[in-house]
Amino acid sequence: MNAPVEGFSKLSKAQKIDWIANNCTKDAKATKQLLERYWNADEAVQKLHDEFIENTLSNYYLPFAVAPNFLIDGELRTIPMAIEESSVVAAASKAAKFWLTRGGFKTEILGTEKVGQVHFIFKGDSKTLSAFFNEIHAELLKSVSAITENMEKRGGGINAIELRDWSDKIEGYFQLHCTFETLDAMGANFINSCLEQFATTLKEEASIYPNFTEEERNLEVVMSILSNYVPNCLVKAEVSCPISELGDNDMAAREFAEKFVRAVDIANVEPFRAVTHNKGIMNGIDAVVLATGNDFRAVEAGIHAYAAKNGQYSSLTHAAIEGDRFKFWIEIPLALGTVGGLTTLHPLVKLALEILQHPSAKELMRIVAVAGLAQNFAAIKSLVTTGIQKGHMKMHLLNMLNQMGATEEEKAQMVDYFKHNTVSNASVKEAMEKIRAK
């Protein structure tokens, strides 16, 4: 089982499946049938999926859903979401409906600047290096003119190149810290192409710089890569209403507002709570990022770094009572794209962007931030009133019933029964046993 294999990437798809089935699983026939069952019936679509990544065997499906009724900056939107977790879409939809009649969500783009760096080692005098950098600054920009030409025509390009000294942390470590505007593209390929050319130019110019010693001319470029931490690519989303409009059957309005603000304050000072608090926010954000073909791992990394920007990991959202008004907002870094990558390739990504009325990158930033804020509002509302499990477990009920092999008739009976009863693993099992005993 699972022996070493040579040249796996050169095998055909059928040969890869055969090898996996025969060497890594107990039932080769069942494995092949399972993998083939998830192929797309449209051969052209399947070929497209096969070529997204390497060594493709099949497709791994996630539910593709929508959350309607989002009023964002006066415009009604339906938000597509791709996620497997129960209650996320329901919670987002519920929050959207709640704020629909209370003014909706307001957003603001605070910045769109992306970051990339050339990391290098220079063993010499930092003042001489600084003088060298000032002399070659124009040459660095000139060296990437062919790469930046089209981006500049659209209003983007390179914002700045700085020399930064980190030699107090690592001996001889310096970097070119570069900032970019990439418009509707996420910009990873554009940024990395520029950085690699900067690195080449840096080495070439250093090798002939007359004021360097022989050792200084041999500066070592360690790596050139964009950063997924984009603290100046920021969006803010908020909701607010009179406190009197917050009341419902679960709790009086003023009490709800005060408990809500307290819950957010706790996430601001207590990292154990903050992590779970922010995870709930990312339920909404990741689902939209994934549905629109963006890189949710990059978004996650950048947002969590931002949550720790003050030296301690804390809440991404904030809440306040200002006079007789309740205010709730989020401010997060988001580097997103609506052109390039999967946006023009994956059929469901194209559909998701169509559902969103073909947003620009800035508009998508606004939408994604709202999804995160809505998710957090729904979660905190549940936590400070009925508790999180009541709603979540009811949404999880069908998953539990499917695990038990329930028939459609049994599902209907169970769903009806648990409209008025508490859902838990034990209670569902007990109820199912009673139904089957009859």
Catalytic site residues?
Answer: 85, 279, 295, 392
Q: How far is CA 323 from CA 259, 260, 282, 421, in A?
A: 16, 16, 30, 39
CB 77 within 8 A of CB 357: yes
Give the Cα separation of 79 and 63 in Å (integer): 14
Tokens of 162: 């700085």
Burial category of 349 from C-beta neighbours within 10 Å (exposed 0-12, middle 13-18, buried 19 and up): buried
Among 325, 149, 123, 309, CA closest to 244 = 325
Give the Cα separation of 312 and 304 in Å (integer): 11
The helix or strand, by DSSP H or E, that contains position 76, with its residue range, turns out to be strand 75-82
Residue found by looking up tokens 């930046």 in the block? 148
Angle of helix 126-143 relative to helix 145-153, nearest 10 degrees, comes to 60
Tokens of 163: 């020399």
Angle of helix 361-384 relative to helix 388-403, nearest 10 degrees, comes to 100
Tokens of 229: 């931490």
For residue 203, which amino acid is it? K
DSSP string, 144-195: THHHHHHHHHTT-EEEEEEEEE-TTTSTTEEEEEEEEE-TTB--HHHHHHHH
Among 56, 189, 165, 204, CA closest to 116 = 189
**Which strands form 157-165's sheet, in the order they lie side by side?**
157-165, 173-181, 114-121, 220-227
| Residues sharing a CB contact under 8 Å with residue 109, sequence separation 6 or more, in sequence order | 234, 235, 362, 365, 366
Angle of helix 253-269 relative to helix 361-384, nearest 10 degrees, comes to 110
Q: How far is CA 41 from CA 30, 37, 49, 50, 348, in A?
A: 19, 9, 12, 13, 15
Which phi and psi angles does 344 have, rounded to 5°?
A: -110, 5
DSSP label at residue 339 = B
